[in-house]
């Protein structure tokens, strides 16, 4: 397990979400890069899910003071980026945004929630494209 090296990417996503959702006071959010196998173990142990995923979010927030840990499968991000014709960095940005959006209250369990989540991810990416980090 490693901390995601690109601190500016993570900070950029945090800044964008802070601007888009000012009531969410983003505090300490650690982002770890792990392998598929490591994330599968975390998924099994903590969520009792036996499948690969690109991210697992642990929410330690108190009220609107948002904090947590994001565990990102760098293997999934690389594979998804290739499959979607995207750069690794752009897919990693989307996944980190996804995790932080979970921390501020967005869900993705139902089809409708997943559609809203995707639109919120797109909103963060568009903000970053327009204003940078």
Three-class HEC string of the chain: CEECCCHHHHHHHHHHHHHHCCCCEEEEEEEEEECHHHHHHHHHHHHCCCCCCCEEEEECCECCEEEEEEEEEHHHHHHHHHHHCCCHHHHHHHHHHHHHHHHCCCCCCCHHHHHHHHHHHHHHHHHHHHHCC
pLDDT for 52 equals 87
The first and second tokens of residue 79, run together, are 């594979």
Per the CB < 8 A criterion, the answer to whether 61 and 67 are in contact is yes
Domain, as residue range, for 84: 2-131
| pLDDT score of 132 | 83
State both tokens at 78: 């690389």
Ranges of the chain with pLDDT below 50: none
- Which pLDDT belongs to residue 2? 54
Q: Considering its fold, how many domains does the chain have in total?
A: 1
Residue corresponding to tokens 């993570």: 10
CATH number at residue 62: 3.40.390.30
């Amino acid at each position: 397990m490693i901390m995601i090296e690109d601190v500016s990417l993570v900070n950029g996503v945090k800044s964008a979400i802070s601007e888009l959702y000012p009531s969410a006071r983003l505090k300490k959010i650690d982002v770890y890069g792990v392998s598929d196998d490591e994330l599968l173990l975390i998924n099994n142990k903590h969520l009792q899910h036996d499948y690969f995923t690109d991210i697992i979010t642990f929410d330690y927030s108190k009220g609107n003071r948002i904090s947590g840990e994001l565990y990102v499968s760098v293997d999934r991000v690389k594979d998804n980026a290739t499959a979607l014709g995207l750069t690794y960095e752009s897919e990693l940005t989307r996944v980190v945004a996804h995790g932080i959006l979970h921390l501020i209250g967005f869900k993705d369990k139902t089809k409708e929630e997943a559609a809203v989540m995707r639109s919120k991810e797109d909103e963060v990416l568009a903000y970053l494209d327009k204003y940078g980090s």
